Structure 1
């Protein structure tokens, strides 16, 4: 792989937040899986089995093992609990899809068998899920009648039909599935049960984007409905609704429950703090709940962040008095000071500052707070290059803060540092041509690629953004660059993602239909054919 070089952040024996291990051991696992070093992988897993689910930049060991066709390593990772459903980057496919695309049929069969055995995931589950999302109620009922086992099948992420009925808030289907024997406690790959999707939503299917206007808006009604239909009422749901009586009785029987997380990896303390239930928070803390306990997306605890996000001052004060880490970060969400400040909760912000809270430079850039950015940079000029992909420059560019971008550039913000998931240019695409021009005029390399050889033009091709693609090509972007993720050119990415107008534009600008250095399975026409984009197939012929 062209840029598969150990990131500086992973050159440490200390635990790297959100990676699942110490930097060097995480890198050793990723590199060994990519290179097919079977004995190294076996040794690492023997010492620390949880490395099967470590990651860097949302790439996990099994991603590389599958991609490179190392079947024995794939088998080992699966035995140690590797998650084959997770994809955190928009242009990264699931391991199963990768195996199919690359012709690794044996690995594809292994993954399918594993998904069927552990999640009851199969094509029938995918079909039912699609019908539920399309709100084709009668077709769903007919299909389940013809295939009764489908009520316990799941899609590729482990969502059962009941999960999807909850996500789409269709009461009739919820009733129907339960009557047909659906498990109200069924867990998908990330551990989430239907009740968790009510309380926390879903990253990939968001109610505000996907639900039609006539769907149920009040999710608490849905929680009560599920419990009435047999879902378990436990410490976590009680904390979420402020039932301190239930908490008291439950904890009296077993005080240790206060530190046990639910199937989704969240604590009862988090739920109580998120919804501002002071008495519930107090009761949990009295029984040993730890506000700094690692939980889903929060290696140093999420309760204080949740309280700050809801402006629940009394809960936040209780947590701080019990030693909550005032600067604990939540993945992709900043720290408590940031969320309080961004929402305009001045009293909460002041409380957090009283306990040592700080705002990071990246967060100040995100919010467009020039005065904070200026103060932080004056005190520490090197902060301009702090953070990895999502550092100050990325957030300023992505949120249209042109003045702050210029200030960061005055402090020598690096426009061409290595990137892994996304960076300032990828985020600048959201802000538009003027921001992209600003970065290019100050020295951004139009051909800078990620650690997997993904160029800016590859990304734009997948998005179909012809205006910015033209701008980059005019500035020297290589039109036939080949990446290491999909092993093809920007034209191949346009073909893969069905961007017909982009494909036509790239051909007009001289992109090769059959580029050199591209394997046959990854040629533009092969991608278009596999994904069923017939108009692009005809164009490429």
Structure 2
């Protein structure tokens, strides 16, 4: 993209920056056209000001991913509210104030942490002569530059960022910041003097490379999100014709909002229907509270009945979903044989009814290894090979179930698989590999009729054989030519990503040494990692499979701080940090997540100061209960109350408890909201009720706001606790002064949440405290 076409604005450009004044349409005219509904003018505003908006946000936040997210949300608000702007020429300053507001949601003005600029200049002293840096080195160099700019005074930081991120003139910058051109020149002069020549050149290059105008991704996502929220059906259709994949693509790597979310925010039924037809997923939530943030859930909670009905109709057409299918699936998921039988006795046609994900009751029975329930369903004639929306059959759920299932339950899943096969489930190479059927595997391999590596790498027989511990089968498949790393494509934030090493990861997780040996002999990578789930070496050590870990170490695998914090191998941890000093940045996160008190105490006493913008993430790990939630992580000699004590240490160390989640500015929940959601603690093995209340007591005593409002569910921590049925947490918050009617809207108040989700005891408690519907 030609940057000079994207940077017009008011005033006379500097020589060599932007276009000549004669070529530039005054910004007031562009705004006026946009206010009149000209989609081209809306796009022009985004193109002209995207670098300024992101640059200004970065000067406040110090992180380009967060800056793009804040700027994107600001643009979506601006384009939706454009008709309210009375003076078209005031657009630049208006945009700046709205960007500031969205950045403020992230920081609550906690401020950027800085380092002395002299140290940064010293780091770059040997960078004057270009060197062939690899990707990591370039990323590290960019990090140095960002620290350098962050070390400038705020007024210099914002000015130098705006000047070098795009092709903007001093006049344009002055208008945007609402200062004089003379002030801009003075700030630039002072910043250049501080940065020195070498560092200044790197600043120019880094900011230029990070500018959103480097491609059209930012502009397109902004225009699509804004059009979806304001209900501009023609504009949404125009964008999707050119790029249909955007209907199901995340807004950014750090923001899982999709266009359908924005359409729900704006209550735009026509846009919702268009996006659904284009492939949008109405059940896709936003991390970390996915259940509460899917488009359907948000429409349901807001009382947007026409949108809920449109989504349900879509699910019925595409996945066969129905009310009876949802009820049947819920009962089957609980293993409620009597409940399932009662539904089927009253409606015999419901046997193969589907839930929202296209699953039948037999899918749910297989998923939970409910053998008696599955037998009853099959006796009644359930389709043994029914496929859900992802193409999975009950047999696949039985053989490749969740890896967190306790070891003593694996035999139940094997029995389930045997039942399904005995009742006629399709038997192929994958199934034979999962069941350890040597003769069957040999027969399928000789026939050559089944895909050796699954379909596009998915459903590889080698993966299920590794998971189930069949080393002989793994060897047969590898000799036949199976990919030892079982590569397959996955979707990450709407972008394609190649996953590799799942057989090794699963074998290490399960402690199947013979399988690991077979994979290594077949050419598998020892340093296998799974997206967002760690490495094979980490899995083997976390679960106490020392012999497997030793084998992987000998083949080149390396551990990381989290691994050694869990195993409390401080000698290995020290050696890791000595060899890789950059790993220290993750040390505190790892220690808190692992509940390692010794390392947390050491880092608080002797480690470097922790930037305030990292406080929320570290507090999040303290309440997460990760080590409790994974039943297979060794806990011998470890006290689960370590998490409580570590949280108290963070509070005592002055951690800022008013900081907000920074993944997306709309989801600006506090740590107390996050605790109420129990998002990382499944009900069957998370924190106890007493522990949750004790966490809350530490946070509230430390200064957490009991009535803080967030911008996505528009609720207080009490509202979230009511939504998730946390009776004792609700009781505690009320004793600490929480507003029983707190919330931004009637549907978002605590009593509304409790009643909507059937938490009768919570509702009664709230009504006793004065809550009203």
TM-score scaled by structure 1?
0.81
CA pair 233-378 structure 1, distance change in 2 beyond 3 A:
same
Instruction: Give, in angstroms, the shift of residue 235 of structure 1.
Output: 1.2
Q: CA deviation at 1:381?
A: 3.3
- The 5 Å alignment of 1:520-539 reads 520-532=746-758, 533=760, 534-535=763-764, 536-539=766-769
Which residue is equivalent to 1:61?
258
What pairs up with 1:381-392 in 2 under 5 angstroms? 381-386=581-586, 392=587
Quote how far apart the aligned CAs of 1:60 are: 5.3
Q: Is the 8 A contact 1:66 1:107 kept in 2?
A: no
Instruction: Identify the residue that residue 485 of structure 1 maps to in structure 2.
Output: 712
Shift of the 171–318 alpha-carbon distance from structure 1 to 2, 3 Å rule, reads closer
Q: How is 1:289-438 mapped onto 2 (pairs within 5 angstroms)?
A: 289-292=482-485, 293-294=487-488, 299-386=499-586, 392-409=587-604, 410-412=606-608, 414=610, 416-417=612-613, 423-429=617-623, 430=625, 431-438=642-649
1:107-256 → structure 2 map (5 Å cutoff): 107-133=307-333, 135-202=335-402, 218-254=412-448
The alpha carbon displacement at 1:117 in A equals 1.9
Deviations 1:9-42 (A, max 9, x none): 999x99xxxxxxxxx9998887666544575797
Pick from 448, 452, 456: which aligns with 2:659?
448
Note if contact 2:700-2:706 (Cα within 8 Å) is conserved in structure 1: yes
Are the counterparts in 2 of residues 236 and 262 from structure 1 also a CA contact under 8 Å? no
Residue equivalent to 2:474:
281
| Displacement of 1:236 | 0.9
Shift of 1:279: 3.5
Q: Is the 8 A contact 1:415 1:439 kept in 2?
A: no
Asked if 1:457 is matched to 2:672, the reply is yes
Q: Which has the higher contact order (CA 8 A, sep 6+)?
A: 2
Tell whether the 8 Å contact from 2:562 to 2:594 is kept in structure 1 after alignment. no
2:260–2:272: 8 Å Cα contact kept in structure 1? no
Tell me whether 1:439 sits opposite 2:650 in the alignment. Answer: yes
CA shift in 2, pair 1:236/1:188, >3 Å: same
Q: How far 1:183 moved relative to its partner?
A: 1.9
CA deviations over 1:41-68 (Å, ceiling 9, x no partner): 9747855738726585794526633542
- How far did residue 258 of structure 1 move? 1.0
Q: What is the aligned-residue RMSD (CA, Å)?
A: 3.9
SS at 1:259 equivalent: coil
Q: Deviations over 1:489-514 (max 9, x none)?
A: 11222232233443343334333344
Q: How far apart, CA to CA, are the structure 2 residues paired with 1:207 and 1:26?
A: 41
Say which SS state the counterpart of residue 451 (structure 2) adopts: helix
- Cα distance between partner residues in 1 of 2:410 and 2:475: 33
On the 8 A contact 1:385/1:414 being kept in 2, the answer is: no
Summarize the Cα distance change of 1:243–1:436 in structure 2 as closer, same or farther, 3 Å threshold.
same
The answer to which structure has the higher helix fraction is 2
Instruction: Identify unmatched segments of 5+ residues in structure 2.
Output: 1-56, 70-134, 137-214, 492-497, 626-641, 679-688
Secondary structure at the residue paired with 1:363? helix
**Deviation at residue 216 of structure 1 after TM alignment:** 10
Cα offset, 1:522, TM superposition: 1.4
Deviation of the 1:80 alpha carbon: 4.7
Q: Secondary structure at the match of 2:501?
A: coil
Task: For residue 436 of structure 1, give the secondary structure of its aligned residue in structure 2.
Answer: helix
1:359 CA displacement: 1.0
Residue by residue over 1:144-201, the C-alpha shift from the partner in whole angstroms, topping out at 9 and shown as x without a partner, is 1331221111233333111233344444543443344422122234443211221132
Seen in structure 2, the aligned counterparts of structure 1 residues 450 and 349 have a Cα distance that, compared at 3 Å, is: same
Note if contact 2:436-2:470 (Cα within 8 Å) is conserved in structure 1.
yes
Q: Deviations over 1:341-372 (max 9, x none)?
A: 23443443233223321112233223332222
Superposed counterparts of 1:11-30, under 5 Å: none
How many equivalent residue pairs? 516
One of 294, 300, 306 as aligned partner of 1:106: 306
Alpha carbons of structure 1 residues 164 and 43: separation in structure 2 relative to 1, 3 Å: same
State the secondary structure of the residue aligned to 1:397: helix
Relative to structure 1, the CA distance from residue 25 to residue 325 in structure 2 (aligned partners, 3 Å threshold; closer, same or farther) is farther
The alpha-carbon deviation at position 450 of structure 1 amounts to 0.6
CA separation in 2, counterparts of 1:81 and 1:406? 50
TM-score (ref. length: structure 2):
0.59
For structure 1, which segment, 53-62 or 517-526, has the greater mean C-alpha deviation from structure 2 after superposition? Answer: 53-62
Give the 3 Å change call, closer, same or farther, for CA 208–355 of structure 1 in structure 2. closer
Residues 317 and 468 of structure 1, relative CA distance in 2, 3 Å threshold? closer
Q: Which runs of 5+ in 1 are unaligned?
A: 15-23, 387-391
User: Is the 8 Å Cα contact of residues 428 and 450 (structure 2) preserved in structure 1?
Assistant: no
1:518 aligns with 2:744: yes
Does the 8 Å contact 1:496/1:524 carry over to 2? yes
